[in-house]
Structure 1
Amino acid sequence: MMRFIGRRRELELIRKELSLPRPSLIVAYGRRRVGKSRLLREAVDGTNEIYFQATRVSSTLNLEAFKAETARVLGSDPVIQSIESWEGILHYVANAAENGRKGLAVIIDEFPFVIDQDSSLPSVIQKFWDSGAPRKGSLKLILCGSAIAQMEELLAERNPLYGRKTMTLEVKQLPLRDAALFFPGYDSRQAIEAYGIFGGIPHYLQLCDPDKDIRQNVVDLLLTETGALVDEPTTLLQTELRDPGTYSSILAAIADGCTTSSEIAGRLRSDSSSLPPYIQRLSKLDLVNVNKSLDATEKERNRRYSLNDPLIAFWHHFVRSNLSAINSGFGERVYEDVIEPRLSEFMGPAFERICLDHARLYAQESVGSPAMEIGSIWGHAEFDIDVAGRTLGGSFFYGECKWQTKQIDLSVVEKLRLRSERTVYGAGKTGKNYLLFSRSGYRPEVNELAKTDTSIHLLELDDLARYPSREPALHP
């Protein structure tokens, strides 16, 4: 098994829950390929664990497969073969936890596959949990799934499991600093470009060869007819959604620069009133961001939509329209003639998303206090602000992102100051901070100003892609 990278905080949270001297009912969910199963198995460390991955078969066949895995872990027992219900096998593992297997962790992965065939299972688990059977052996029951809506439904007030879970965990994409660890030989710019293309999905990152440059990884995985990711966006939508064509068309429109409902509807030649359910579903899958300018009022309807999956954005920009050439064996030429000349242009918006994520996670490294909210400011005739936010300490900050070959000069700093004064976001507040994010560094006069003006914070690519003073644990 490949080494486990990142997820330090998630591991700590799960292990803390599992260490408690009481039973645990954990609900974990997240989109396909995000690394939920590996995270959970890393957290329990295989020492006292029954791991079962359900499949799209009948409940009876899943039950038989679960019984077989239970016998493999706990030892063959004729009693297991005689059990004919989920309630019976759950009581069996609870008894095992009570008698020598204290703290036994039972992971049921792709739990929605079982529910699809047996809708009574949540009620069965409720009855089992309320019986007190898990208590003496501190049984740890973990329900995991990629069908996000179904997993969230488990926690709804009308659901039998409402109020029983002891922990909920939504697993999202890896942040840049963790993703960069998949490419130990890359410099920070290369790591950021790789992240801008492949994103933070561990499965995609593990498919990349860290000994090859970005170009070759893109060609091998996305621009070859047999590439592992050449059909990934299509496969993802077909797996997760009904009517994948409509969802794909919406993603394509957003990738092409349509950021509002009216623009997307115009591209699809449909009524904008029909879009909200589709957008909401894509947002649930963490594929689309729905944003509002930080200085907009509650009543203003200025929502913007953006893609939250870099691979899907890259695929729609460069792969979708060139599939015929790729399937004819001209992937190398697609990279040379189409991607390479436009990669810097593509990375501009990607870099802004990376800077927003950095401020969300690590604002305290620059301004001394974590971000309480983070976003952008737009909708003004004369200016936008790429990054803006408020810290837990109550101060406001504003940021400018530049993915360009020239260094940032004083004019950029002054424009950011002026824009921060023209927005109502943070109006009248003192102690504002200014974050500059630059691909190519800063002019000497900007560096000199930052030495004396503590409100100005200059961030280089290393600041974004590398942990400052500690390396997160890399697990074999």
Structure 2
Amino acid sequence: MIRKFVNRKEELELLENLWKKEGLVFVLVYGRRRVGKTRLLEEFSKDKERIFVIFEDKPREYNFDLLSKKISELLGVSIKIRDFPSLLRLLKTLKRGRLLLILDELSYLIRREEGILSELSRAIEENRDLNALIVVSGSYVSLMEKEFFRYSSPIYGRTDANIKVAPLKFKHLFEWFEGLKTEDLFKIYAVTNGTPKYLEFFSGENIEEEIIDNFFNPSSFLFREARALLSEELRELSIYLAILEAIAKGNTKVTQIANFCYLKENQVVPYLRVLSELGIVKRIVPIFGKRGVYEIADNYFLFWSRFVNPYYEEIESGFVNAALEDFKANFNQFLGKAFERLAQELLIELSKKNLLPFSFTKIGRWWHRGEEIDLVALNEQERKALFVEVKWKDLTLRETERILNDLRRKAELVGLKDYENYFGIVAKRLDKKDKLDRNILALDLRDFERIK
């Protein structure tokens, strides 16, 4: 189901400001596949004179034929372009005002041809007096960051702006799915990570049935997508899949991950580093501490690694019952982890809008010797701390007060001397939350609409 274009206000504003500049402006737009880079560039360029080419994973000659065709359409005459320097020299001869050149998915060419960035860099330097905005985009995140941000790269330092396009935040789903209940929006967000392409597969009519149709059907897009994305970026796919499954099942320490994968600790660390560079895995360190654990940072990959990958071959062969039983039995528990992340997102938004007791400068988890606090937010300069428990449950007033009392006990263990302490709870639903002490931050799903 295709939806209207939502959000991307900051990205569009930045691109518009760059468009208004004089001379040659060179911009990188990158991000993982499906996050909406091409749609962003379409929206930005729709009212401008443009050359918009989407490269394919094919030889150089094929892609430059695509580029030549686009230029020929603009000029009304047949043109053959074989390299970037001749392209920019040609554009410089045109008396058409400011031009917009979009080279979408240039990463395909970068992967295939080692010298393509040297060629592009030379073209830019030789034609700095060209009155144009040149935008290149790419979906191979690790490749684009390596080639554009590495000091030894020929393109290093050439860009005037670098825009990394991220998935939509939860608050943007209110606009995408107008009229849908907040709980249903959260379930969609928990399995799609807000990735626009993935959202298109949901209508919101029956969320859990839609999840089953989209993840446990071997012909569905989302069933195969994770493997397809990983295959594009990585070799030794089976090892990466095993690592993701290990983490999704709660093995978050290096030793645990290595044991699950039948590897040694020093063998698993390089794989974790690569997954971290791709933004799929993240090392989480307690807010006061150094010994971290690993988590899957992307909700889509977390859900897929937990419920789909362990049964991939069975589902592909039509034996789906075991996977569905696991999903139905444990999906609610899975939502608890996703809800913790969403609670952190909510607190960050509320802090930006000055809707908390204080604006914090640091937020994270705390754990020590078996004790854990879901979220601790700090303003170290003002010496203020907010301790928050997150529960994906409907809580009675008595249950809420019990959780808060235990939270106060654990806060004492953190050892923040001379800090002014505040306490909060975020739950699926809080009964009679107006009866709580007014100094308590009490939030549930009904409050998430405040961040829209």
Q: Describe the shift of the 1:369–1:392 C-alpha distance in structure 2 as closer, same or farther (beyond 3 A).
A: farther
- Residue 273 of structure 1 deviates from its aligned partner by 0.8
Partner of 1:390: 378
The structure 1 residue matched to 2:405, chosen from 402, 409, 414, is 414
Q: CA deviation at 1:151?
A: 1.1
User: What is residue 162 of structure 2 aligned with on the other side?
Assistant: 168
Look up the SS of the partner of 1:384 in the other structure: strand
Report matched runs for 1:15-30 at 5 Å.
15-30=16-31
Deviations 1:165-191 (A, max 9, x none): 111111222111113433324211111
The structure 1 residue matched to 2:347, chosen from 342, 359, 376, is 359
Match status 1:109 vs 2:100: no
User: Aligned AA for 1:42?
Assistant: E
Q: Which secondary structure does the structure 2 equivalent of 1:226 belong to?
A: coil
Q: Is the aligned partner of 1:441 residue 2:430?
A: yes
Deviation at 1:45, TM superposition (A): 3.0
2:173 is aligned to 179
- Of 248, 251, 261, the match for 2:254: 261
Letter in 1 for 2:100: A
Q: Which residues in structure 2 correspond to 1:82-231 (within 5 Å)?
A: 83-96=81-94, 99-102=95-98, 104-131=99-126, 133-137=127-131, 139-153=132-146, 154-210=148-204, 212-231=205-224
Structure 2 regions of 5+ residues with no counterpart? none
The aligned amino acid for 1:409 is T
1:463 maps to what in 2?
447
SS of aligned partner of 2:118: helix
Q: Give, in angstroms, the shift of residue 411 of structure 1.
A: 2.2
The answer on 1:240 being equivalent to 2:233 is yes
Alignment of 1:24-43 (within 5 A): 24-43=25-44
Post-superposition CA distance 1:149-170 (Å, at most 9, x none): 2211212222222222111111
* Per-residue deviation, 1:21: 3.3
Query: Per-residue CA shift, 1:74-114, capped at 9, x if unaligned?
Result: 22234x22x43221012223444xx2231x22121221211
After superposition, the C-alpha distances for 1:10-49 in whole angstroms (9 at most, x for unaligned) are 2223322333334321112211212222122222335222
Query: Residues 134, 467 of structure 1: CA spacing in aligned structure 2 closer, same or farther, 3 A cutoff?
Result: farther
**Residue 47 of structure 1 pairs with residue 48 of structure 2:** yes
Q: Is the 8 A contact 2:241 2:305 kept in 1?
A: no
Counterpart residue type for residue 381 of structure 1: R
Structure 1 counterpart of 2:62: 61
Give, in angstroms, the shift of residue 415 of structure 1: 2.4
In structure 2, what is the equivalent of residue 423 of structure 1? 414
**Among candidates 290, 295, 306, match of residue 317 of structure 1:** 306
CA contact (8 A) 2:283 2:292 kept: yes
* 1:304 to partner: Cα distance: 0.8
The Cα RMSD (Å) is: 2.4
Contact 2:394–2:427 at 8 Å: present in 1 too?
A: no
- Aligned amino acid, residue 26 of structure 2: L
Give the distance between the partners of 2:181 and 2:300, measured in 1 at CA.
20
Counterpart Cα distance in 1 of 2:376 and 2:197 = 32
Q: Which amino acid aligns with 1:414?
A: N
Residue 54 of structure 1 deviates from its aligned partner by: 1.5
TM-score by length of 2: 0.91
Structure 1, unpaired ranges of 5+:
472-476
Query: Contact (CA 8 Å) 2:213, 2:220: kept in 1 or not?
Result: yes
Q: Are 1:272 and 2:265 matched, yes or no?
A: yes
Report the Cα distance in structure 2 between the residues aligned to 1:45 and 1:368, rounded to whole angstroms. Answer: 44
Q: In the alignment, is the contact (CA less than 8 A) between 1:367 and 1:433 conserved in 2?
A: no
CA shift, 1:65, in A, is 1.3
Q: Which residue is 1:7 aligned to? A: 8
CA drift at 1:144: 1.0
Q: Contact 1:369 / 1:392 at 8 angstroms: preserved in 2?
A: no
CA contact (8 A) 1:52 1:69 kept: yes
User: What amino acid is aligned across from residue 270 of structure 2 in structure 1?
Assistant: P
CA contact (8 A) 1:15 1:44 kept: no
SS at match of 1:39: helix
Larger deviation: 315-324 or 213-222?
315-324
Report the CA distance shift for 1:270/1:107 in structure 2 as closer, same or farther (over 3 A).
same
Give the % identical residues: 24
CA deviations on 1:342-365 (whole Å, 9 max, x unpaired) are: 221111111112112223344234
**What is the CA distance between 1:204 and its match in structure 2?**
0.5
Q: What CA deviation, in whole Å up to 9, does each residue of 1:294-346 have, x standing for no partner?
A: 111xxx3x1111112222222232223444664465758954x4323322111
Deviation at 1:119, TM superposition (A): 2.2
Do the aligned residues in 2 keep the contact of 1:48 with 1:101 (CA within 8 Å)?
A: no
- Contact 1:375-1:387 at 8 Å conserved across structures: yes
1:194-227 CA-to-partner distances (Å, cap 9, x unmatched) read 11122211111012223x2102211221122322
Counterpart of 1:75, as a letter, is L
Tell me if 1:348 matches 2:336: yes
Q: CA deviation at 1:8?
A: 2.4
Q: Could you say what secondary structure the match of 2:365 adopts?
A: strand
SS at match of 2:371: coil
Return the alpha-carbon distance in structure 1 between the equivalents of residues 49 and 406 of structure 2. 58
Q: Does the 8 Å CA contact 1:190/1:214 hold for their aligned counterparts? A: yes
